[in-house]
Structure 1
């Protein structure tokens, strides 16, 4: 009974308050439904309002003796859950602020939640953990924050940082290319961010046209257009070396391959050049010298008739070159110095074909043309039969763009992710193909900084970006 008396007293106060401050119609409706029993509430919800302009009246609630406990329990539960609040003076509904006002409020600093860094905590942060975190950041991110202070910039010379970088799995290869408009500077493409970078390698000669011809371990091998001088450089950290002069003067065109030196405990890399008449030399970065390991075996038919449009492929220290007459592949093992020849006929109607590799597999990419139809096709070499098996084609909707056009193709990178330059008089397209996922993607146009004209890619090579590789 005491609870019933308190409830009636509260209702009386509510009625007096409502009489002096009548709430808006929607407020009446909300409160009336809140205080009604479930059955009455359900009955009220089924009734449709006849007149939208008719104001609902405030109806006092009759509380009888039998329902006192139920209403008392309802009031107490509402109070504990804070879903029931005493009536307050009516407040207008919140209005939506414009975007301009919201921006002005943020810029005024009224909602600034930035907390200062605790210097006494971060100064004791473990150095090895700090380097391990940075080694796993995207390559482009590292070059943005290395300019913050000397300590961060000096990480490139840290031996422990090099070890952390070596533990990180190889990222997606980048592409170093040369454009027709500016042959003395390169353009690098990062496929993970789909962004072009324009580095300046200050040590490369500016009076000569120097082209990228091979890569290994984050290093890119350059050869001047006169086939005289070799250069090795890491485009990311500017590590540079000009190789010593070759012992054999060759003026004809040469094919070049590059591998990491697996036979030496000190690491390093090796570079091989070979010409069609069988002359070849090997450069070892450990000894910094060129050597002539031997002569071409009689089992390899000379002249080699090398396909110079196709870059060499490196798999487990062995280089593979494409040749014609007879059609096939010649290989050279950098560790043992053994040459081998494989007779492999190429598919019919194939042009501009080049070798590629993915996960130890030898691939072939080329233009398949018949009548007025041209398509880019991918083949894989079957080791048991030494035959090419077609595994994928460019989507048909893309190939329609080539219909009736004389299209030429250049492969700018052949390390798992291929970059293909497709061009004609009316077209210049760059696409990438992921051999593992069989995904075709279009590459955005290469535009120099502060420029608008799209650059035409002349040549290029793929390389795995490395922050610590030294030439």
Structure 2
């Protein structure tokens, strides 16, 4: 074989000295975030996952001071979305527990001091939106707070007319700088709503507005004599007749959602008969949708909002099988369409356990709590990927904690009350 006169082109396997590596690598000089100017430093930190940011504020005084900076909060508000946290609700907890969907883990979240002044049972979590959550006291007064900063605002008392004492729904829509709360009062067919807007200069609830029944509404009629009675699983997990009052769990008593589409705001809630009622706040009218399942079917139902649309989650038993399905209502054809179903291999294990579901939507995801005397489980469903995942149980100090429901919010320290 001839010997080549060209230099050997093979890469040497010998390790270079640190001095040589530093000369060859222009990026090898040590770099610290603390070397960044303040505005760029805050913009970088604003994109950190919220859990990571709170862990890192103990790094230095500069990092800790950022959390209180108004310019940092402005930078955080420019982040379009954050992975939701699901605030779990249990009547026996002195501390709140959240499920962090970004880190797929359970975490503690202390109550704001204002809520700790009363016993936990005197304040009930009723709504959430953006970075805010809303509690209702036994007196009926509402408290809006940011669960991260612990800042709270007690809303003025609400005075409603005697005929509208029945409260059906409490919904909230929020941005980083404002929020609006809507209450739906009355009993079908006499409904009305009232609104609190944090942007309002009056700082008061607006006057009640009467909702008229949609003239095109052709909802199902029920036989008051009981000859054609529908049975379903109540929000408390018991099978009741459709002619009876729906005894929902007090932890999700006002289960409802609000959507905004084509300039119209619509509130959806569960009626005492288990049907879905749609209240168009813009047109000041309402419709009652037909029941999803035939009479004599046992099921539990809840409404959620995902990506600006109202969806319904139904847990039902039929022919010795259990199914968990997601439905969407077609307004044009006035029909329900199934858009997703949990694989039977996952849902059939719940058959015969008479579980009740409480659900909440967040973006593409639906968080589902299943409860009965024999069952306590949590499921996260991703609409985009059609993936169903049963979450691990929550253990605190070696003890398994059970929850009845959950509310979703984005962990945003800039959200103002």
TM-score range, shorter-chain basis? 0.7 to 0.9
Change (3 A) 1:80 1:459: closer
Choose which of 142, 155, 160 in structure 2 pairs with 1:230. 142
CA contact (8 A) 1:367 1:377 kept: yes
Choose which of 268, 272, 282 in structure 1 pairs with 2:182. 272
CA contact (8 A) 2:170 2:256 kept: yes
Change (3 A) 1:235 1:199: same
More strand by share: 2
Change (3 A) 1:470 1:258: same
Counterpart secondary structure, 2:267: strand
Change (3 A) 1:259 1:412: closer
**Can you list the C-alpha shifts for 1:395-430, whole angstroms capped at 9, x where unaligned?**
121123123332222224465321111233333211
CA contact (8 A) 1:216 1:260 kept: yes
Cα RMSD for the two superposed structures: 3.3
Q: Please, which runs of 5 or more residues in structure 1 have no aligned partner? A: 1-36, 38-69, 85-114
**Paired residue for 2:232?**
none
Distance (whole Å) between structure 2 residues aligned to residue 173 and residue 347 of structure 1:
31
1:21-36 correspondence to structure 2 within 5 Å: none
CA contact (8 A) 1:176 1:212 kept: no
Distance (whole Å) between structure 2 residues aligned to residue 326 and residue 376 of structure 1:
17
Residue 147 of structure 1 and its aligned partner are, at CA, apart by 2.8
**Paired residue for 2:235?**
none
Residue 345 of structure 1 and its aligned partner are, at CA, apart by 3.1
**Paired residue for 2:87?**
176
Residue 318 of structure 1 and its aligned partner are, at CA, apart by 3.5
Choose which of 207, 213, 222 in structure 2 pairs with 1:292. 207
Alignment of 1:152 with 2:63, yes or no, is yes
Change (3 A) 1:352 1:166: same
Residue 130 of structure 1 and its aligned partner are, at CA, apart by 1.2
Misfit runs of 4+, over 4 Å: 79-84, 115-119, 249-254, 298-301, 305-310, 412-415
CA contact (8 A) 2:181 2:196 kept: yes
**Can you list the C-alpha shifts for 1:277-333, whole angstroms capped at 9, x where unaligned?**
3354321223432222423335599xxx88865722222243222335594422243
Distance (whole Å) between structure 1 residues aligned to residue 258 and residue 62 of structure 2:
37
1:370-389 correspondence to structure 2 within 5 Å: 370-389=318-337
Change (3 A) 1:228 1:309: closer
CA contact (8 A) 2:317 2:323 kept: yes
CA contact (8 A) 2:144 2:155 kept: yes
Counterpart secondary structure, 1:134: helix
Q: Please, which runs of 5 or more residues in structure 2 have no aligned partner? A: 13-27, 218-244
Change (3 A) 1:81 1:157: closer
CA contact (8 A) 1:136 1:165 kept: yes
Alignment of 1:427 with 2:341, yes or no, is no
**Can you list the C-alpha shifts for 1:159-190, whole angstroms capped at 9, x where unaligned?**
332332222221232111122431x4211111
**Paired residue for 2:104?**
194
Aligned length: 355
Residue 369 of structure 1 and its aligned partner are, at CA, apart by 1.1
Distance (whole Å) between structure 1 residues aligned to residue 276 and residue 181 of structure 2:
22
Counterpart secondary structure, 1:318: strand
CA contact (8 A) 2:89 2:96 kept: yes
Distance (whole Å) between structure 1 residues aligned to residue 254 and residue 343 of structure 2:
23
**Can you list the C-alpha shifts for 1:116-153, whole angstroms capped at 9, x where unaligned?**
9578xx66522221111111111111111123344323
CA contact (8 A) 1:315 1:360 kept: yes
**Paired residue for 1:161?**
72
Instruction: Kindly indicate whether structure 1 or structure 2 has the higher relative contact order, using CA contacts under 8 Å at least 6 residues apart.
Output: 2
Residue 390 of structure 1 and its aligned partner are, at CA, apart by 0.8
CA contact (8 A) 1:355 1:414 kept: no
TM-score (norm 2): 0.75
**Paired residue for 1:256?**
170
**Paired residue for 1:217?**
130
Alignment of 1:242 with 2:154, yes or no, is yes
Distance (whole Å) between structure 2 residues aligned to residue 118 and residue 407 of structure 1:
55
Distance (whole Å) between structure 2 residues aligned to residue 82 and residue 176 of structure 1:
59
**Paired residue for 2:302?**
354
**Paired residue for 1:15?**
none
CA contact (8 A) 1:416 1:434 kept: yes
More helix by share: 1
Change (3 A) 1:339 1:165: farther
Residue 351 of structure 1 and its aligned partner are, at CA, apart by 1.9
Distance (whole Å) between structure 1 residues aligned to residue 115 and residue 79 of structure 2:
30
TM-score (norm 1): 0.67
Q: Which has the larger radius of gyration?
A: 1
**Paired residue for 2:229?**
none
Change (3 A) 1:174 1:150: same
Residue 470 of structure 1 and its aligned partner are, at CA, apart by 1.2
Residue 194 of structure 1 and its aligned partner are, at CA, apart by 1.0
Change (3 A) 1:227 1:457: farther
